[in-house]
Amino acid sequence: RLQHHRLRFQEFSARSEASGRVSLFVPDRVESEEILDEGNASRSEMERSLRDLQRFNSLFGGTPVYRRLVKAAAKDATSVLDLGTGTSDLLGALDSSCRLRIGLDFKIDHILYGRKLRNGPGPIHLVVADGFHLPFLDETVDLVTSSHFFHHFSPEENQKMLQEALRVARKAVIASDTRRHLAPLLLVRVMGLFRLIGRVTRFDGPASVLQGYTVAEARKVADGIRARRKEVRKLFPYRFGLLLWK
Protein backbone atom coordinates (compact mmCIF):
# COMPACT_ATOMS: atom_id res chain seq x y z
CA ARG A 1 0.00 0.00 0.00
CA LEU A 2 2.83 2.38 0.86
CA GLN A 3 4.56 1.52 -2.43
CA HIS A 4 1.32 2.25 -4.29
CA HIS A 5 1.05 5.74 -2.74
CA ARG A 6 4.71 6.42 -3.48
CA LEU A 7 4.21 5.52 -7.14
CA ARG A 8 1.10 7.73 -7.30
CA PHE A 9 3.09 10.65 -5.83
CA GLN A 10 5.96 10.12 -8.31
CA GLU A 11 3.50 10.03 -11.22
CA PHE A 12 1.84 13.24 -9.99
CA SER A 13 5.23 14.97 -9.65
CA ALA A 14 6.28 13.89 -13.15
CA ARG A 15 2.99 15.13 -14.67
CA SER A 16 3.26 18.44 -12.81
CA GLU A 17 6.83 19.00 -14.03
CA ALA A 18 5.92 18.13 -17.61
CA SER A 19 2.89 20.44 -17.64
CA GLY A 20 4.68 23.31 -15.95
CA ARG A 21 2.44 23.19 -12.85
CA VAL A 22 4.11 23.54 -9.48
CA SER A 23 3.51 21.21 -6.54
CA LEU A 24 2.55 21.95 -2.96
CA PHE A 25 6.27 21.86 -2.13
CA VAL A 26 7.11 24.73 -4.49
CA PRO A 27 6.25 28.20 -3.16
CA ASP A 28 5.35 31.08 -5.45
CA ARG A 29 8.27 33.08 -6.83
CA VAL A 30 8.84 36.27 -4.85
CA GLU A 31 11.27 38.87 -6.16
CA SER A 32 13.17 40.79 -3.51
CA GLU A 33 16.41 42.66 -2.89
CA GLU A 34 19.25 40.94 -1.07
CA ILE A 35 21.46 42.67 1.48
CA LEU A 36 24.73 41.39 0.02
CA ASP A 37 23.91 42.65 -3.46
CA GLU A 38 22.63 46.02 -2.33
CA GLY A 39 25.78 46.78 -0.34
CA ASN A 40 23.84 47.29 2.90
CA ALA A 41 26.17 45.17 5.03
CA SER A 42 29.27 46.02 7.03
CA ARG A 43 32.58 44.67 5.75
CA SER A 44 32.70 41.91 8.38
CA GLU A 45 29.12 40.86 7.55
CA MET A 46 29.89 40.88 3.82
CA GLU A 47 32.94 38.67 4.35
CA ARG A 48 30.99 36.26 6.56
CA SER A 49 28.24 35.99 3.94
CA LEU A 50 30.75 35.26 1.17
CA ARG A 51 32.29 32.53 3.33
CA ASP A 52 28.78 31.14 3.90
CA LEU A 53 28.29 30.93 0.14
CA GLN A 54 31.56 29.04 -0.22
CA ARG A 55 30.41 26.59 2.47
CA PHE A 56 27.09 26.06 0.67
CA ASN A 57 28.98 25.21 -2.51
CA SER A 58 31.30 22.76 -0.76
CA LEU A 59 28.73 21.11 1.54
CA PHE A 60 25.53 21.14 -0.51
CA GLY A 61 26.58 20.23 -4.03
CA GLY A 62 27.35 23.53 -5.73
CA THR A 63 30.97 22.66 -6.51
CA PRO A 64 30.48 19.13 -7.92
CA VAL A 65 27.44 20.30 -9.91
CA TYR A 66 29.53 23.10 -11.42
CA ARG A 67 32.32 20.71 -12.40
CA ARG A 68 29.88 18.25 -13.98
CA LEU A 69 28.18 20.96 -16.00
CA VAL A 70 31.50 22.31 -17.25
CA LYS A 71 32.47 18.84 -18.48
CA ALA A 72 29.04 18.26 -20.02
CA ALA A 73 29.08 21.56 -21.89
CA ALA A 74 32.70 21.59 -23.09
CA LYS A 75 34.90 18.91 -21.53
CA ASP A 76 37.97 20.14 -23.41
CA ALA A 77 37.50 23.81 -22.46
CA THR A 78 40.77 25.52 -21.61
CA SER A 79 39.32 28.99 -20.97
CA VAL A 80 36.34 29.86 -18.76
CA LEU A 81 34.65 33.15 -17.87
CA ASP A 82 32.50 33.04 -14.72
CA LEU A 83 29.78 35.70 -14.30
CA GLY A 84 28.80 36.90 -10.83
CA THR A 85 31.90 35.11 -9.65
CA GLY A 86 31.93 36.39 -6.05
CA THR A 87 34.98 34.80 -4.43
CA SER A 88 35.68 32.69 -7.59
CA ASP A 89 35.75 29.50 -5.48
CA LEU A 90 34.11 27.52 -8.29
CA LEU A 91 36.68 28.65 -10.84
CA GLY A 92 39.32 27.60 -8.34
CA ALA A 93 37.79 24.12 -8.21
CA LEU A 94 38.43 23.43 -11.91
CA ASP A 95 41.37 21.22 -12.77
CA SER A 96 44.63 22.46 -14.22
CA SER A 97 43.59 21.76 -17.82
CA CYS A 98 41.63 25.02 -17.66
CA ARG A 99 44.53 27.40 -18.27
CA LEU A 100 42.63 30.70 -18.52
CA ARG A 101 40.11 31.52 -15.79
CA ILE A 102 38.35 34.88 -15.64
CA GLY A 103 36.06 35.89 -12.80
CA LEU A 104 33.69 38.78 -13.48
CA ASP A 105 31.59 40.57 -10.89
CA PHE A 106 30.03 44.00 -10.47
CA LYS A 107 31.12 44.12 -6.81
CA ILE A 108 34.82 44.89 -6.49
CA ASP A 109 34.79 44.21 -2.73
CA HIS A 110 33.60 40.65 -3.35
CA ILE A 111 36.29 39.71 -5.84
CA LEU A 112 39.03 41.36 -3.80
CA TYR A 113 37.98 39.38 -0.74
CA GLY A 114 37.91 36.24 -2.88
CA ARG A 115 41.50 36.91 -3.96
CA LYS A 116 42.46 37.13 -0.28
CA LEU A 117 40.83 33.74 0.45
CA ARG A 118 42.07 31.90 -2.63
CA ASN A 119 44.46 28.98 -2.36
CA GLY A 120 43.51 26.97 -5.46
CA PRO A 121 45.72 26.05 -8.45
CA GLY A 122 46.61 28.62 -11.08
CA PRO A 123 45.84 32.33 -11.36
CA ILE A 124 42.34 33.74 -11.76
CA HIS A 125 42.03 37.00 -13.67
CA LEU A 126 39.47 39.32 -12.08
CA VAL A 127 37.29 41.79 -13.95
CA VAL A 128 34.81 44.31 -12.54
CA ALA A 129 32.05 44.73 -15.14
CA ASP A 130 28.35 44.45 -15.95
CA GLY A 131 27.16 40.99 -17.00
CA PHE A 132 24.75 42.53 -19.53
CA HIS A 133 27.57 44.29 -21.41
CA LEU A 134 30.62 42.05 -21.30
CA PRO A 135 33.91 43.84 -22.11
CA PHE A 136 35.15 41.07 -24.41
CA LEU A 137 35.29 40.43 -28.13
CA ASP A 138 33.15 37.75 -29.77
CA GLU A 139 34.26 34.17 -29.00
CA THR A 140 36.91 35.19 -26.48
CA VAL A 141 36.64 32.10 -24.24
CA ASP A 142 35.56 28.49 -24.68
CA LEU A 143 32.92 28.57 -21.97
CA VAL A 144 30.93 31.17 -20.02
CA THR A 145 29.47 30.05 -16.68
CA SER A 146 27.43 31.35 -13.78
CA SER A 147 26.33 29.76 -10.53
CA HIS A 148 23.69 30.94 -8.06
CA PHE A 149 23.34 34.07 -10.19
CA PHE A 150 20.28 33.25 -12.32
CA HIS A 151 17.71 33.91 -9.56
CA HIS A 152 18.69 37.58 -9.26
CA PHE A 153 17.10 38.40 -12.62
CA SER A 154 13.74 38.30 -14.38
CA PRO A 155 13.21 35.83 -17.25
CA GLU A 156 13.75 38.62 -19.79
CA GLU A 157 16.93 39.80 -18.07
CA ASN A 158 18.29 36.26 -17.97
CA GLN A 159 17.61 35.84 -21.67
CA LYS A 160 19.45 39.07 -22.44
CA MET A 161 22.45 38.17 -20.27
CA LEU A 162 22.74 34.60 -21.55
CA GLN A 163 22.50 35.80 -25.15
CA GLU A 164 25.37 38.20 -24.42
CA ALA A 165 27.30 35.32 -22.81
CA LEU A 166 26.83 33.26 -26.00
CA ARG A 167 28.39 36.09 -27.99
CA VAL A 168 31.56 35.85 -25.91
CA ALA A 169 31.67 32.02 -25.80
CA ARG A 170 33.25 29.85 -28.48
CA LYS A 171 31.56 26.63 -27.41
CA ALA A 172 28.87 26.92 -24.75
CA VAL A 173 27.25 28.73 -21.82
CA ILE A 174 26.03 27.20 -18.56
CA ALA A 175 23.97 28.60 -15.69
CA SER A 176 23.37 26.69 -12.46
CA ASP A 177 21.19 27.66 -9.51
CA THR A 178 19.10 26.33 -6.64
CA ARG A 179 15.62 25.14 -7.57
CA ARG A 180 12.77 26.89 -5.78
CA HIS A 181 11.49 24.30 -3.30
CA LEU A 182 10.54 24.04 0.37
CA ALA A 183 13.47 21.71 1.15
CA PRO A 184 16.33 24.21 0.57
CA LEU A 185 14.15 26.95 2.07
CA LEU A 186 13.68 25.00 5.30
CA LEU A 187 17.37 24.02 5.38
CA VAL A 188 18.63 27.59 5.27
CA ARG A 189 16.04 28.71 7.84
CA VAL A 190 17.08 25.96 10.25
CA MET A 191 20.73 26.88 9.76
CA GLY A 192 19.81 30.46 10.54
CA LEU A 193 17.85 29.44 13.64
CA PHE A 194 20.93 27.70 15.04
CA ARG A 195 23.19 30.61 13.97
CA LEU A 196 25.21 28.39 11.63
CA ILE A 197 25.21 31.21 9.07
CA GLY A 198 25.73 34.96 9.41
CA ARG A 199 23.07 37.67 9.72
CA VAL A 200 23.17 38.60 6.04
CA THR A 201 22.82 34.98 4.90
CA ARG A 202 19.94 34.46 7.35
CA PHE A 203 18.04 37.07 5.34
CA ASP A 204 19.48 36.53 1.86
CA GLY A 205 19.37 32.70 1.89
CA PRO A 206 15.56 32.38 2.08
CA ALA A 207 15.18 35.34 -0.29
CA SER A 208 17.42 33.60 -2.85
CA VAL A 209 15.40 30.38 -2.70
CA LEU A 210 12.06 32.19 -2.97
CA GLN A 211 13.09 34.11 -6.09
CA GLY A 212 14.65 31.05 -7.67
CA TYR A 213 13.28 29.16 -10.68
CA THR A 214 11.80 25.72 -11.22
CA VAL A 215 13.13 23.50 -14.02
CA ALA A 216 10.02 24.25 -16.10
CA GLU A 217 10.51 27.99 -15.64
CA ALA A 218 14.18 27.73 -16.60
CA ARG A 219 13.16 25.89 -19.77
CA LYS A 220 10.85 28.76 -20.70
CA VAL A 221 13.79 31.14 -20.29
CA ALA A 222 15.93 28.91 -22.53
CA ASP A 223 13.20 28.85 -25.18
CA GLY A 224 13.69 32.58 -25.74
CA ILE A 225 17.45 32.34 -26.37
CA ARG A 226 19.01 31.84 -29.80
CA ALA A 227 21.34 28.84 -29.52
CA ARG A 228 22.20 25.79 -31.63
CA ARG A 229 21.18 23.46 -28.82
CA LYS A 230 19.54 23.97 -25.41
CA GLU A 231 19.10 21.76 -22.39
CA VAL A 232 17.91 22.21 -18.80
CA ARG A 233 18.85 19.48 -16.33
CA LYS A 234 17.28 18.72 -12.97
CA LEU A 235 20.22 18.08 -10.65
CA PHE A 236 20.75 16.74 -7.15
CA PRO A 237 20.41 18.24 -4.62
CA TYR A 238 17.66 20.74 -5.56
CA ARG A 239 19.59 22.43 -8.33
CA PHE A 240 19.23 22.85 -12.08
CA GLY A 241 21.66 23.43 -14.90
CA LEU A 242 20.84 25.35 -18.07
CA LEU A 243 23.20 24.55 -20.98
CA LEU A 244 23.42 26.43 -24.29
CA TRP A 245 25.67 25.41 -27.18
CA LYS A 246 26.87 27.62 -30.07
**How far does CA 111 lie from the centroid of its chain?**
16
Phi/psi of residue 81, nearest 5 degrees: -110, 125
What is residue 122's predicted lDDT score, i.e. its pLDDT? Answer: 72
What is residue 15's predicted lDDT score, i.e. its pLDDT? Answer: 46
Residue 152's pLDDT band (cuts 50, 70, 90): very high
What is residue 118's predicted lDDT score, i.e. its pLDDT? Answer: 84
Average pLDDT of span 36-43: 90
What is residue 5's predicted lDDT score, i.e. its pLDDT? Answer: 44
Residue 22's pLDDT band (cuts 50, 70, 90): low
Average pLDDT of span 187-199: 97
What is residue 21's predicted lDDT score, i.e. its pLDDT? Answer: 53
Average pLDDT of span 69-93: 97
Q: Cβ contacts of residue 70 below 8 Å, gap of 6+?
A: 77, 80, 94, 143, 145, 174
Average pLDDT of span 54-83: 97
Angle between helix axes 215-223 and 155-168 (nearest 10 degrees) is 60
10: left (phi over 0), alpha (psi -120 to 50) or beta: alpha
pLDDT digits (tens, 9 = 90+) for 8-20: 444 444 444 544 5
- pTM for the full predicted model: 0.89
Distance CA 241, CA 96 (A): 23
